[in-house]
Amino acid sequence: MYKMRESWTDTRLDEFSAQIDRRFDDVDRRLDDVDRRLERVEVGLGSLQRAVIFGFIGMSSAIVAGFVTIAGALITKL
């Protein structure tokens, strides 16, 4: 098992601090990559949302046109 140090020298504390700084720099770079990926996902979702809206409008128009056609056919039969 790892034994805890009783005391820390200034040099050791400086090394520890530098190591922690490097690790946080790595985390910052990774988070920047995640941010860039999420921006691309947001753009894709915006495009998908527009496609869904246009599809809904198209389907609604087709349904209304079908009802109008059926209504017109029924009216002409009367």
Q: Where are the domains of the chain?
A: 32-78
Name residue, tokens 């921006």. Answer: 39
So what's the pLDDT on residue 8?
A: 78
Q: What is the pLDDT of residues 37-51, one digit of tens each?
A: 999 999 889 999 999
So what's the pLDDT on residue 2?
A: 61
So what's the pLDDT on residue 9?
A: 85
CA 25 to chain CA centroid, Å, is 24
Q: How many helices, marked H, and strands, marked E, lie in the chain?
A: 1, 0
pTM to 2 decimal places: 0.51
Q: What is the pLDDT of residues 16-25, one digit of tens each?
A: 999 999 999 9
Name residue, tokens 């985390």. Answer: 27
